[in-house]
Amino acid sequence: MASSDTPGSPGTPNGPGGRWSDLERPPLVAAALRRALVRPGGLWTELDVVLATGSTNTDLVARATAGAPEGVVLIAEEQTAGRGRLDRAWTAPPRSGLFFSVLLRPGAAGVPAERWGWLPLLAGVATAGALSRTAGVDTALKWPNDLLVTVDGQERKFGGILAERTGDAVVVGVGLNVSLRAEELPVPTAGSLALAGAAHTDRDPLLRAVLRSIEEWYGEWRRFEGDPGPCGLQETYAAGCATLGRRVRAELPGGGERVGEAVAIDGDGRLVLATEGGVQEPVSAGDIVHLRPAS
């Protein structure tokens, strides 16, 4: 698996699939990213860019199990077996998006394990905020792990987050459609920053902004031992969550469902539904298969 520090690539550099085969989508340069992001005392300790892999999450989970330190960042120019929640496939053309995973060990900072479920929501808040500022595109969060932009007046998913725990580590993966054109979308209802009218689609400054934002939010969250209230995470997530205030249907394993108005995100990161019976019922991300609008 070649690193993007080197000019090598499957095939020839300028041929189909080569690093410079699409000049509108230049490759990321690992050395430049390391100089900008890896520093003494900072969260990010290692950073690698690979041309292609099956899944950055799968690779980083293996490295975490082998004892890799907190702060490792693994970025792929292309994922051939990218995964979302519940192993749903995530595919995109090479260099058309940002596909990366980070290794965190929150327990070492005294964060109790019952609060680690906030990490994908934290990554969502950090990513949405960074992209709104850097790309100039209004972004929103769909509970529990999707990022939305508006394309042609409609909300569309352009990103997703997947967190996986292995021992005392949590690997958080982020996948974002950056420059995808309409004809490249995996489904017509998907979106990208480009289709949403982003001011630019240069992945280097976008990635730097997202990783710096994750570092800032993670540091503040750890400072309060993972309590989402005092660090502002719970309030900020709710403010940016497009799910709240809408009537939704949570589809459960086995065919069951919960229907109600999404009214809050509780202290455990669960979505609180106000049902027709007047009961407020929380549902967790692990409890549901899909969350859809209720007719």
pLDDT in tens, 226-267: 999 999 999 999 999 999 999 999 999 888 899 999 999 999
CATH topology for the 30-239 domain? BirA Bifunctional Protein; domain 2 (3.30.930)
pLDDT at position 64 is 98
Q: How confident is the model at residue 81 (pLDDT cuts 50, 70, 90)?
A: confident
What's the rounded Cα separation, in Å, for the pair 88 and 143?
16
Give the model's pLDDT for residue 18: 55
User: Which residues are CB-neighbours of 28 under 8 A, at least 6 positions away?
Assistant: 4, 49, 75, 77, 95, 203, 204, 207
CATH architecture of 244-293: Roll (2.30)
Task: Please name the residue ranges forming H helices in 159-279.
Answer: 203-223, 233-240
Alpha helices by DSSP H, listed for the chain, are 30-37, 56-65, 119-135, 203-223, 233-240
Going by pLDDT thresholds of 50, 70 and 90, the confidence category of residue 42 is very high
Please give the single-letter amino acid code of residue 181.
Answer: R
- Range(s) within the chain of domains with CATH label 2.30.30.100: 244-293
The pLDDT assigned to 24 comes to 83
Long-range contacts of 262-270 (CB under 8 A, 24+ apart): 262/143, 264/238, 265/121, 265/143, 265/234, 265/237, 265/238, 265/241, 267/228, 267/229, 267/234, 268/114, 268/117, 269/117, 269/118, 269/121, 269/144, 269/228
CA 73 to the chain's CA centroid = 13
pLDDT at 50 (0 to 100)? 98
The token duo for 277 is: 């019976």
Which pLDDT value is given to residue 10?
40
Cα–Cα distance measured from residue 120 to residue 150, given in angstroms and rounded to the nearest whole number = 22
**Residues linked to residue 177 through DSSP beta bridges, in sequence order:** 97
Task: Tell me the average pLDDT of the chain.
Answer: 91
Q: How many CB atoms lie within 10 A of CB 14?
A: 11
From residue 273, alpha-carbon distances to 86, 248, 259 in Å are: 22, 8, 7
User: Which one-letter DSSP state was computed for residue 285?
Assistant: G
Nearest one of 185, 176, 182 to 76, comparing CA atoms: 176
- Is residue 34 within 8 A of residue 47, CB to CB? The reply is yes
CA distances from 277 to 12, 26, 31, 255 (A): 64, 55, 58, 21
**Res. 86: pLDDT tops 60:** no
- Report CA torsion sign: 76, 79, 81, 84: positive
Rg (CA), the chain: 19
User: Which has the higher per-residue pLDDT, 240 or 16?
Assistant: 240
Residue closest to 130 by CA, chosen among 180, 77, 174, 83 = 174
Contacts of 43 (CB under 8 A, 6+ apart): 70, 71, 214, 215, 218, 219
Q: Tell me the per-residue pLDDT of 103-136, one tens digit each, with 9 for 90 and over.
A: 999 999 999 999 999 999 999 999 999 999 999 9
Q: What is the predicted pLDDT for the residue at 82?
A: 60
Per-residue model confidence (pLDDT) at position 6? 40
Domain with CATH 3.30.930.10 in the chain: 30-239
